[in-house]
Amino acid sequence: MTTRVVAGRTYLAVRAESAHSGLPLLVVLHGRGMDVRNMATRTGFLRFAENGLADVVYPAGIGQSWNAGSGCCGLAARRHVDDTAFVQAVVADATRAFGTDPRRIYLVGYSNGGRLAFHLACVSPATFAAFATYGAAPPTTCANRAAAGLSALVAAGTADRILQHGAQVVQHATTTWRALNSCPAHSSTRRTGPAVVTTWRGCHGGAAVQSIVFPGLTHAWPSSVAGLMWNFLSRQVRHGGVSAMSAR
C-alpha cells in the first residue's frame, strides 16, 4: 500500500501483485466515519490486488465524509467539497501510474460513499464501465441520458436501520437504472448464501443491472458482498461510450 497525493488530497493505492499494466482499476469509496485503511481491511477488495486481478484505490474523503449532493453528508457537504472532481483526479492519476485498461474502471461505494457513487455514475458516466453500492440510496433520481449503457449493481440488507427499507431502496434504484439502460423486463434470480441476486441482461449496449438483497442483514458490510460485486463488475467492459457484459 502506498499513499498518493492528487489535487492536494490523498488516496491509498494498492498495486496488483502481478504489477503489470493493462489491469482493471477498482475505485472504492469509504462510508462516513471511516478512514481508507479501515475501508481496505473491512471490505475484502484487497484480495483482488493480492491475486493479481486488479489495482485498487481508496480515495480519502474530507472529515471521513463525502459531498454526495442533496445536502449529504458531514463536513464535506458543509464545505461544499468538489468530490466529483477529486475522484476523477484519482482515476486519472492512478490510471497513469498503473497503466490501467481504460475500458475496465469500476466504482464501488459504501453508505455515504455509495451515495457519491450514484452521483458520479449519473454525472460522470463515461469514466466507468460499471458501479456498485451497498447500503446507499441515490441522492436524486438520475435522468441523464448520457448514463445509458453504464452497468449498475445495487445491494442492501433488509434490516438496515440507517438506510431504512433496504429492499425498497434497491428496487427503486434498480428500476431507475433499468429504465436508463432500456433493460428488458425479464430477469434471472438466484440465491448465493443469504443473498438474493437478481440480474437484468441485454440492456442498452450490452450493459447489465443487478440487485442484491440480504434478508435480515443490517448496514454493516457483509463478508460476501465484495466477491459478488467483483463477479459482476469484472464482466463489464466499456466499448464506444457504453459498458457491455463480457461472455466469460
What pLDDT does residue 111 have? 96
Question: Residue 244 and residue 77: Cα distance in Å, rounded?
Answer: 34
What pLDDT does residue 140 have? 86
Q: Which residues of the chain have pLDDT under 50?
A: 247-248
The domain containing residue 67 runs over which residues?
A: 2-245
What pLDDT does residue 164 have? 81
Question: Residue 36 and residue 42: Cα distance in Å, rounded?
Answer: 10
CATH number assigned to the domain comprising residue 106 = 3.40.50.1820
Question: Residue 62 and residue 56: Cα distance in Å, rounded?
Answer: 20
Mention every residue, 6+ apart, whose C-beta is less than 8 A from residue 74.
Answer: 32, 63, 64, 65, 66, 112
What pLDDT does residue 235 have? 95
Is residue 122 within 8 Å of 144, Cβ to Cβ?
yes
Domains contained in the chain, number: 1
